[in-house]
Chain A
Amino acid sequence: MLTETILIIDDEAFIRENVQRILNEDGYRVLEAATSTEALELVASDEIDLALLDLNLGVENGLDLLGALKEANPDLLVIIITGYGSVETAVDALKLGAFDYMKKPFKADALRVIVKLALQTQELKREVRGLRRSGALGLDVPLLGDSPCFRQVLDQVREVARIPTATVLVTGESGTGKELVARAIHSLSDRKEHPFVAVNCASIPTELMESELFGHEKGAFTGAASRKTGLFEEAHNGTIFLDEIGDMYASLQAKLLRVLQERTVRRVGGSKDLPVDLRVIAATNRDLRQRIQIGTFREDLFYRLNVVPLHLPPLRERGNDILLLAKHFLSHFSQAFGKSFKGIEPAAEQMLLGYPWPGNIRELRNIIERICIMAHGPLLEPAHLPPELHHHATGHSSTIAEDVLNQGLEINVANYEKQLVVAALEQADGNVVKAALILKIPRGTLRYKMEKYGL
């Protein structure tokens, strides 16, 4: 376990020395600050886990400093030290985000217990964050972005959230955050207390899809030993999110159309139409109009789904949002993996801004996650970034740089392969069949490669 760093902020030298001595004995690293300025400097320059703050800092106001500390590092734990009779102030401090408070004078043991408890809590918080990241607790990433095109999306999300029956069709390239947008619509709507059910239409085998969505009665088919409620029923009063709707097969499209028109579902093998009150949000990264032309997607279903269209811009069109998101992921993963990344070097920022991000936010997230596992910080440097970003920045030169060569054959070939796959997909407007023809490989192989590169 790493040594935890504790900062004691007190204008009285004798208290600082005492705390320093007690906590040093317990193996903590202890820093001292006598003024707000010193404290803020240390919080900015050093990795501090916990601050002990005397609210009575001479002429300075401890509560103001608490606010400033929390702003500089929202995850900093702060324990307030307060004089006799100023419990109200301590309560204010708790409201401002302090972890706990101690009344002066305090005993060494009391200090030890409270510090240990606070640090354990911090550890738990990190663990929870780790679990969240792995999906165990469900994703909890906000919709981040400040670019004009993304703000427009946010406006549309807020507008449509207010209309609880409106069907929404979310389009956008792979990795642009379609499910996040669907969840945002759900959680901003009156349906937020009810279930949000997400279904990936491409991942469930077609034979199972119908009974998954609609449920089945006992004995409806071989193996239907008991009655099963479908996902539409589970989403009753809430929202059902149908991802990759473009891949839903034709007979199910007809059934979905019926749900949208009649607002009822019928279980497989059932004879009753069960009313459902829900919002349908469908999403796709495919061009549904093109699919209608080829004849694999029903036009009438398209019009039913496209009541409120919401198009998510690709990351490369979102300008400085790239940096905003990069910094968000950096602080998130830095914390999850116990690293100390504080920011991004300007040269690395330029590389992030110049790269076309074919895998969009998911690709950015994966790259930053990898960096937080492999590197240490405090700044994200160009050297941390994977070769495809370097290649893009320098253009294609015929001479191979030494660091590229040192990556070895496998990684370089994989990178080149990824570029080819991206180029073919772009030329084919995302049509996998066409792209496979361009690359002269079987469609299945292409799908595998797309999966492999997160496209």
Chain B
Amino acid sequence: MAKILLIDDDPQVRAVLKGFLQIGRHQVLEAGNGVQAKKLLTDVQADLVITDIVMPESDGFEVIMSCARKDQPLKIIAITGGSPNLAQQTLLAIAQKMPVNKVLSKPVTCEELLTAVQDVLNAPTNASLPQST
């Protein structure tokens, strides 16, 4: 069981991902955007951050960069959906260049998500290194 911060601006998507994570018996904190997420992270210690990439306010890229700049970089899973302006493939390609442990593309299944979470939690902390999936 891990404490996971989940960041997505769409409450429905958040509800689904949270539900999946709870099936995996994880504790879930939620944030609707990057600003909220950063505020939460100053108060609580999370084992893992799962973030959407395209969001209003502060977007996923900012969250990722600020997490990576910390002394103890947080483990991050980025989840990308398509957006009207950017194709999903483009976003995936960009996300994979970011310092994240794993990139998933929307929609994810419960199994995909929980497997990715387990992999990342088991991995040594090296989120500051760019990785591909």
Contact = CB atoms under 8 A, between A and B. Distances in A.
B81 A303 contact: yes
Interface in B1-48: 12-13, 15-16, 18-20, 23
A303 B82 contact: yes
Interface in A147-169: 155-156, 159-160, 162-163, 165-167
B56 interface: no
B16 A166 contact: yes
B33 to A, nearest CB: 16
A159 B84 contact: no
A41 interface: no
Given A299-B84, A309-B107, A260 B12 contact: yes
A124 interface: no
Nearest to A308: B16
B55 interface: no
Question: On chain B, which size bracket covers the interface?
Answer: 10 to 19
Contact of B107 (A155, A162, A165, A306): A306
Given A156-B110, A299-B84, A307 B12 contact: yes
Contacts of A307: 12-13, 16, 107
Nearest to B11: A165
A159 B15 CA distance: 12
A162 B12 contact: no
Contacts of B109: 156
27 contacts: A155-B110, A155-B111, A156-B109, A156-B110, A159-B19, A159-B20, A159-B110, A160-B19, A163-B15, A163-B16, A163-B18, A163-B19, A165-B15, A166-B15, A166-B19, A167-B12, A299-B82, A300-B84, A304-B12, A306-B107, A307-B12, A307-B13, A307-B16, A307-B107, A308-B16, A308-B107, A309-B107
- Shortest beta-carbon contacts, A-B, top 4: A163-B19, A159-B110, A166-B16, A165-B15
